[in-house]
A and B are shown apart, each in its own frame.
Chain A
Amino acid sequence: MIKIVKRDQPSRAIFFFTPVLAIFLTLVAGGLIFFILGFKPFEALKFFFIVPIADKYGFSELLLKATPLCLIAIGLSFCFKSNNWNIGAEGQLTFGAIVSGGVALLFYEQEGFYILPIVILAGAIGGMLYASIPAILKTYFNTNEILVSLMLVYVSKLILDYLVVGPWSNPEGFNFPETRQFSDSAKLPLLFEGLRIHAGIFLALAAVVISWFVFYKTYLGFQMKVSGFSLKTAKYAGYKGKKMIVLVFLISGACAGLAGVGEITGPIGQLHREISPDYGFTAIIVAFLGRLHPVGIIFASLVVAITYLGAETAQIFMQIPKYTGQVFQGMILFFLLASDYLLFFKIKFIGSKK
Chain B
Amino acid sequence: MALPKYTEPHYRIWHYIYLTICAAVFFFLIAPLFVIFPLSFNAEEFLVFSDGMKRLDPDAFSLRWYQDMIYGTKNPWGLAAKNSFIIAIFATIGSVLLGTVAALGLSSRHMPYKGLIMAVLISPMIVPLIISGVAIFFFMAKAGLAATHTGIVLAHIILGTPFVVITVTATLSGFDHSVTRAAASLGSDPVNTFMKITLPLILPGVISGGLFAFVTSFDEVVVVLFLAGLENTTIPIQMWTGLREQLSPTILAVATCLIILSTLILVTAELLRRRSERLRGINR
Binding partners A and B: no
Interface residues of A (CB under 8 A from B): none
